[in-house]
């Protein structure tokens, strides 16, 4: 395989930054939409799947994949569904800021899991950054005890996000990101539907949401899901899962700024929270400097 050109890498970095900004906005939508996390994600993946289906029909692109690929994408969709449910539930039981900072542990989980999945050695620098992130998480736990449940759900969301991102970085080398996105979103819709049938909540679904909820869900399902998901997977052809994880840590920065704009004092936290958050984000943003210095040595 030939190495990607610098222009290709630069273009994908810009796409990734735009995608991460959209991801940061999903937290705002999650707080604004009035329904619970499972119901919200069910609508989200349904709208996202339908959007991609019509995109394929209009563009004439093929959805043909092998049986192995279909099963890989479809079952990865269950991890995607779990991630989004945990993410939105964390927002519901805490705040947007707490949830997004916890999502920064995505880097830590990826640093540990990617070498295991891809059978490569774990780098010392990755372990060091992981330890700093753990310290930051500990401080957030200590000073924001009223949000303990939200922190646990936020960390779990980060773990699941790390897992499906690593899988997608492998899938994207051989398959079209749009095809991957369609089957994973369809898989997510299938697995949540099975869950909602099991707990009988789907049998009571009346689709009688408020106009505002429908508008927010449409934005969430189209722009923040179908478009952003494809963009997020496509960049993995030229960017490693860990590099994607590093840039993805801008999500809490974008999200926290947006949260202050939309919700004001509700998003104000203790000094300990901001110190812990600074440790996490500082470690993440200094990491590329460390890697560049090590490369020169």
Give residue 183's domain range: 7-296
Q: Is residue 2 part of a domain?
A: no
Domain count, the chain: 1
With respect to residue 47, please indicate whether it lies within any of the assigned structural domains. Answer: yes
16 within 8 A of 247, measured Cβ to Cβ: yes
Domain annotation covers residue 121: yes
Which pLDDT band holds residue 289 (cuts at 50, 70, 90)?
low
Task: Tell me what percent of the residues of the chain surpass a pLDDT of 90.
Answer: 43
Q: Which residue has the tokens 């796409």?
A: 15
Q: Of the spans 18-32, 108-122, 132-146, which averages the highest pLDDT? A: 18-32
| pLDDT for residue 14 is more than 70 | yes
Contacts of 208 by beta carbon, 8 Å cutoff, 6+ apart = none
pTM of the full structure: 0.85
Residue 209's pLDDT is 95
Q: Is the pLDDT of residue 218 over 90?
A: yes
Query: Could you tell me if residue 1 is inside a domain?
Result: no
Would you state the pLDDT for residue 5? 64
* Confidence (pLDDT) at 249: 67
pLDDT tens string 123-168? 777 777 778 888 888 888 888 888 899 999 999 999 999 999 899 8
Instruction: Tell me, yes or no, whether 17 lies in a domain.
Output: yes
Can you give the chain as a three-state secondary structure string?
Answer: CCCCCHHHHHHHHHHHHHHHHHHHHHHHHHHHCCCCHHHHHHHHHHHHHHHHHHHHHHHCCCCCCCHHHHHHHHHHHHHHHHHHHHHHHHHHHCCHHHHHHHHHHHHHHHHHHHHHHHCCCCCHHHHHHHHHHHHHHHHHHHHCHHHHHHHHHHHHHHHHHHHHHHHHHHHCCCCCHHHHHHHHHHHHHHHHHHHHHHCCCHHHCCCCCCHHHHHHHHHHHHHHHHHHHHHHHHHHHCCCHHHHHHHHCCHHHHHHHHHHHHHHHHHCCCHHHHHHHHHHHHHHHHHHHHHHHHHHC
Residue 187 maps to a domain: yes
């Amino acid at each position: 395989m030939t190495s990607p050109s610098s222009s290709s890498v630069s273009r994908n970095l810009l796409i990734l930054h735009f995608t991460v900004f959209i991801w940061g906005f999903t937290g705002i939508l999650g707080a604004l939409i009035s329904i619970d996390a499972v119901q919200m994600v069910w609508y989200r993946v349904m709208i996202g799947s339908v959007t991609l289906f019509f995109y394929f029909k209009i563009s004439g692109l093929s959805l043909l994949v092998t049986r192995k690929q279909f099963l890989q994408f479809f079952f990865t969709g269950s991890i995607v569904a779990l991630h989004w449910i945990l993410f939105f539930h964390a927002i519901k039981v805490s705040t947007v800021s707490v949830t997004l900072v916890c999502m920064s542990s995505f880097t830590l989980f990826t640093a540990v899991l990617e070498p295991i999945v891809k059978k490569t050695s774990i780098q010392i620098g990755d372990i060091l950054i992981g330890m700093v992130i753990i310290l930051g998480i500990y401080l957030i736990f200590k000073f924001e005890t009223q949000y303990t449940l939200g922190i646990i759900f936020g960390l779990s969301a980060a773990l699941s996000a790390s897992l499906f991102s690593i899988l997608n970085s492998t899938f994207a080398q051989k398959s079209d990101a749009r095809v991957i996105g369609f089957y994973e979103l369809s898989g997510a819709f299938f697995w949540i539907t099975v869950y909602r049938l099991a707990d009988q909540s789907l049998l009571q679904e009346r689709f009688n949401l408020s106009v505002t909820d429908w508008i927010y869900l449409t934005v969430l399902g189209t722009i923040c899901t179908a478009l952003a998901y494809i963009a997020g997977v496509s960049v993995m052809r030229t960017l490693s899962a860990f590099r994607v994880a590093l840039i993805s840590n801008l999500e809490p920065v974008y999200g926290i700024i947006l949260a202050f704009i939309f919700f004001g004092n509700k998003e104000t936290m203790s000094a300990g929270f901001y110190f812990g958050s600074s440790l996490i984000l500082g470690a993440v943003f200094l990491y590329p400097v460390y890697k560049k210095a090590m490369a020169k040595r």
